[in-house]
């Protein structure tokens, strides 16, 4: 297994004596400088695998082979040495150093570079194993975001949909109006997430679920504020209004204690995540008092129990409805390159069942 090259992204201006030379091909005719590493490679091996490198190295560009007989040296100042190291080994047919079980972050960096040079297909022998690493059941927030891109580039449509779901359901809006996932991952700052419009899709999924929850909260309150009692239990008008008032008070008190108050009617104004709102809402409704607690018709408990079950059950289908045709087309095209076979899509629960 290749040792991971831990270097900073600061090649430009480094003197040759400061570079660590790695002989991918000891007889290679081309030297590539990336980070503080110099890779000796075969230019024809690069040309055969990558149309990008073919145009760069054998076209009318400054990276073309010098005509004065001097050493052929090309700088890749924006590339990190470690993923480049791995890809160059693969291109030169040296497979033993390729890690079968790299970290999710390392897989992410490899596939970013493979996409840049249009050589994703060369990762085919390892992609299925790498996806197992990216599909772990309890990933860190950073790994969730990284594996969204890994799934996209590998063509694993199911993992992509799952990570899209997890991010959409758990993302919140910060004080600057930005989508944030986990503790402090600002999604708009992440360059490599997948399709160009993925942030728009995440926002749409988030608002779709928030809309379902918020609409039901306001309906439950407004129905009990009307002159005609909402309570269906037999008895006087006054006793029914007392029952309605108890439910209203319980909803306000419970949601104030958990998320600071009733969510705004306008969905885009809601800053919290779907998980935060759902957890608060369903735990509150399970405990809302009424003067007729055993009656299903006037207690919000039973209505929200049904809503809870329905939303959790529908999450994968709702997310799938936001998977645009071009998403499916791209992942299918990538599967032809990587050989990935779609398995069964994982399901997850995002908040506790409190009923």
CA distance 58 to 72: 12
Render pLDDT for 64-87 as a digit per residue (tens, 0 to 9): 999 999 999 999 999 999 999 999
Is the pTM above the cut of 0.85?
yes
Give the pLDDT score at 299: 76
Cβ atoms within 10 A of the Cβ of 156, count? 28
Give the pLDDT score at 354: 56
| Confidence class for position 160, pLDDT limits 50, 70, 90 | very high
Lowest-confidence range among 225-234, 249-258, 276-285?
A: 225-234
CA distance 333 to 184: 33
Cα–Cα distances in Å, from 312 out to 22, 169, 218, 262, 352?
52, 11, 20, 21, 10
For residue 16, pLDDT beyond 80: no
For residue 305, pLDDT beyond 50: yes
């Amino acid at each position: 297994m290749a040792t991971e090259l831990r270097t900073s992204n600061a090649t430009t201006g480094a003197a040759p004596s400061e570079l660590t030379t790695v002989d991918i091909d000891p007889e290679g005719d081309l030297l590539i400088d990336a980070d503080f590493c110099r890779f000796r490679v075969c230019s024809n091996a690069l040309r055969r695998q990558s149309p990008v490198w073919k145009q760069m190295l054998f076209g009318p560009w400054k990276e073309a082979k010098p005509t004065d007989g001097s050493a052929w040296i090309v700088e890749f100042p924006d590339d990190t040495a470690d993923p480049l190291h791995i890809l160059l080994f693969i291109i030169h047919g040296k497979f033993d150093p390729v890690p079968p079980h790299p970290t999710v972050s390392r897989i992410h960096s490899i596939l970013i570079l493979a996409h840049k040079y249009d050589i994703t297909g060369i990762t085919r022998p390892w992609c299925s194993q790498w996806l197992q690493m990216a599909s772990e059941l309890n990933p860190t927030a950073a790994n969730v975001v990284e594996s969204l891109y890994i799934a996209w580039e590998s063509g694993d449509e199911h993992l992509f949909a799952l990570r899209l779901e997890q991010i959409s359901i758990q993302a919140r809006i910060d004080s600057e109006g930005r989508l944030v996932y986990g503790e402090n991952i600002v999604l708009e700052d992440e360059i490599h997430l997948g399709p160009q419009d993925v942030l728009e899709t995440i926002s749409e999924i988030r608002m779709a679920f928030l809309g379902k929850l918020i609409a039901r909260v306001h309906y439950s309150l407004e129905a009990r504020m009307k002159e005609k009692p909402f309570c269906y239990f037999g008895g006087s008008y006054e006793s029914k209004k007392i029952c309605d008032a108890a439910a209203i008070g319980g909803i306000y008190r419970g949601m104030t204690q958990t998320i600071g108050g009733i969510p705004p009617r306008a969905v885009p104004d809601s800053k919290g995540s779907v998980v935060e709102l759902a957890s608060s809402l369903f735990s509150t409704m399970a405990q809302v008092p009424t003067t007729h607690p055993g009656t299903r018709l006037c207690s919000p408990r039973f209505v929200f129990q049904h809503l809870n079950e329905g939303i959790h059950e529908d999450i994968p289908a709702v997310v799938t409805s936001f998977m645009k045709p071009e998403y499916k087309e791209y992942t299918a095209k990538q599967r032809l390159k990587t050989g990935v076979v779609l398995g069964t899509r994982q399901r997850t629960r995002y908040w506790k069942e409190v009923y």
